[in-house]
Structure 1
Amino acid sequence: MKKPAWLNKKIDLKVCRALKLLLKDLNLHTICEEAHCPNISECFSKKRATFLILGDICTRNCLFCGVKKGRPKPVDSEEPDRVAEAVYRLSLRHVVITSVTRDDLPDGGAEHFAKTIFSIREKMKNIIIEVLIPDFKGNKRAIKKVIEAKPDIIGHNLETVPRLYSYVRSMANYSRSLEVLKNIKTLTKGIYAKSALMLGLGEREEEVLEVFKALRGVNCDFLSIGQYLPPSLKAFPVKEYIHPNKFNYYKKKALALGFLYVASGPYVRSSYQAEEYLR
């Protein structure tokens, strides 16, 4: 499908150079690079990045994602300290940490998330820490382990409507992911819950609105809604390009349900301009 006029963002690798050098120096990964995010120039030029921990190889087979799939390498125990060092060098006030899914680990990598949060807090006292976690196979103890590290925001993305799970993320489970978000809110107080949806995978409007209601039903606070853009020719094909007016419509519908903040637009991603959600 030919891209419409409103999807015209260009990637400028020159403005990414400084941040790429820092990441190389500290041997760190970002989801910005691994998932081929279209916002990478904009964010890297402002010294913002979403760090990808637990390696760069995912054990899941989601067809919409550009991250490498396969057998991951052993967990790097020094990675949390290197992430903290990067956060310190960049003088970040709001940092987002995500990971590949590690179904090969007993706790899914929850302990590594906690260690990363602790390492950042030791370096930077006054910083907002947001983590975007996998489903940990629904392991409640793993979720609690992340909660006990006291990040400010915990995100878990539903990604799409339940009908499409078997097509685009067959190793995930919609009900399980919804339960993860529910647990974030029931196991603690004072931590915000966040989720995200991609549009253009073949979903119907009524299905999208039902997901909004389901998210509010588990007290999800924040929502990101963006256009799905295939990261490669092998990825799941885009079925529809959503007009910006439609994104505005969805934003109004979501806010009316009680979300505290909704970002909705073609280039919105779950960690894009993340600092705006708490403002």
Structure 2
Amino acid sequence: MSKKVKEPKPDWIRIKLTTGDNYQEIKDMMRSKTLHTVCEEARCPNIYECWANRTATFMILGDICTRACRFCAVNTGLPTELDLQEPERVAEAAEQMNLRHCVITSVARDDLSDGGASIFAGSVKAVRSRLPLCSVEVLIPDFMGDEASLKIVMDSKPDILNHNIETVERLSDKVRAKAKYRRSLELLQRAKAMQPEIPTKSSIMLGVGEEWNEILQAMDDLRAVDCNILTIGQYLQPSDKHLYVEKYYTPEQFAQLKEEGLKRGFSHVESGPMVRSSYHAHEQVKSAAGRQVESRITQA
């Protein structure tokens, strides 16, 4: 069999390299508090820009994931780390950074009875205790569909509940490990039923073999469970062991998809080649809140 030849990256796929004082300060702080960030573990292309702007996404529950998704650079295996003091260290770091919007995510921890939900909830409460005016967004795994685990997180009242479907339904089993497309939609639906006032958010990455009509269908599926915020970005292959990039979408196509999403009623759509789930998260929340208020006024 002939080896597949990689398509070269187009000119619009550029990483903004900024390694000034803020970048080094945040890196040193994360190491001193033995915290992980998804920025580093998932090799996010926006790490230099975000860290220079004193923004980071905390990754709790260790740095070893129990799943091996074919797009993700996070280490996989059998986790050994569970630190009950981690929520307080996250809150200390958030306070030191004087964050206005804090994003907390995690590896998948299928080895834990609650999937790590209690550490998520503890982190939300700890950040709120130290930074009452800071909004908190959680990007959670699917907890294997366990409703009780989801309720633990929702009862902590995060400002945003984020869970990514990642790709279109046809490719979900190929791209993700253990996670199921319909189960992810069900999680978002349950979250809204538990706490209707909390906006929900999801993300789709493009370039793994999906068709245009399938992207639009995924948008419709998310709106059918009242998902409020959508991010759309280009998949970039983190190593030769991961899925190949099947297609690079143009900035114009991303702009078109943003319009398609807004037409379908999303409060906010962030769509672009370098967009990731937590990229410009604070701006997304402000924009979504504004559109929700505008919608309520129009309907009154």
Q: Does TM, normalized by the shorter one, top 0.5?
A: yes
Confirm whether residue 236 of structure 1 aligns to residue 243 of structure 2. Answer: yes
- Provide the residue aligned with 1:258 in structure 2: 265
- Provide the residue aligned with 1:146 in structure 2: 153
Alpha-carbon distance in 2 for matches of 1:39, 1:221 = 24
- Provide the residue aligned with 2:295 in structure 1: none
- Provide the residue aligned with 1:41 in structure 2: 48
- Provide the residue aligned with 2:274 in structure 1: 267
Shift of 1:18: 1.4
Structure number with greater Rg is 2
Confirm whether residue 130 of structure 1 aligns to residue 137 of structure 2. Answer: yes
- Provide the residue aligned with 1:222 in structure 2: 229
Shift of 1:12: 4.1
Counterpart of 1:103 in structure 2: which amino acid?
Answer: D
Shift of 1:17: 1.4
Contact 2:18 2:52 in 1 (8 A): no
* Stretch moving more, 69-78 or 126-135: 69-78
- Provide the residue aligned with 1:202 in structure 2: 209
Alpha-carbon distance in 2 for matches of 1:60, 1:190 = 31
Counterpart of 2:168 in structure 1: which amino acid?
Answer: V
Counterpart of 2:166 in structure 1: which amino acid?
Answer: E
Q: 1:8 aligns with which of 6, 9, 14?
A: 14
When the two structures are aligned, how many residues end up with a matched partner? 279
Structure 1's consecutive aligned runs of 4 or more residues displaced over 6 angstroms after TM superposition are none
Alpha-carbon distance in 2 for matches of 1:170, 1:68 = 13
Q: 1:102 aligns with which of 86, 105, 109?
A: 109
Alpha-carbon distance in 2 for matches of 1:170, 1:111 = 23
Alpha-carbon distance in 2 for matches of 1:30, 1:13 = 17
Q: Secondary structure at the match of 1:210?
A: helix
1:3-82 alignment runs, 5 A limit: 3-14=9-20, 16-82=23-89
Q: 2:96 aligns with which of 89, 96, 100?
A: 89
Q: 1:189 aligns with which of 179, 184, 196?
A: 196
Q: Secondary structure at the match of 2:233?
A: strand
- Provide the residue aligned with 2:252 in structure 1: 245
Q: Secondary structure at the match of 1:197?
A: strand
1:107-118 alignment runs, 5 A limit: 107-118=114-125
Contact 1:202 1:240 in 2 (8 A): yes
- Provide the residue aligned with 1:169 in structure 2: 176
Contact 1:11 1:38 in 2 (8 A): no
Contact 2:231 2:275 in 1 (8 A): yes
Shift of 1:13: 4.3
Deviations 1:231-272 (A, max 9, x none): 122111111000010001111011001000000000111100
Deviations 1:32-84 (A, max 9, x none): 00000000000000111000000000001101000000011131111100000
After TM superposition, the score normalised by the length of structure 1 is 0.98
Alpha-carbon distance in 1 for matches of 2:143, 2:65 = 13
Alpha-carbon distance in 2 for matches of 1:95, 1:60 = 25
Specify every segment of 5 or more residues in structure 1 that has no aligned partner in the other structure, as ranges. none
Contact 1:111 1:146 in 2 (8 A): yes
After TM superposition, the score normalised by the length of structure 2 is 0.91
Q: Secondary structure at the match of 1:37?
A: coil
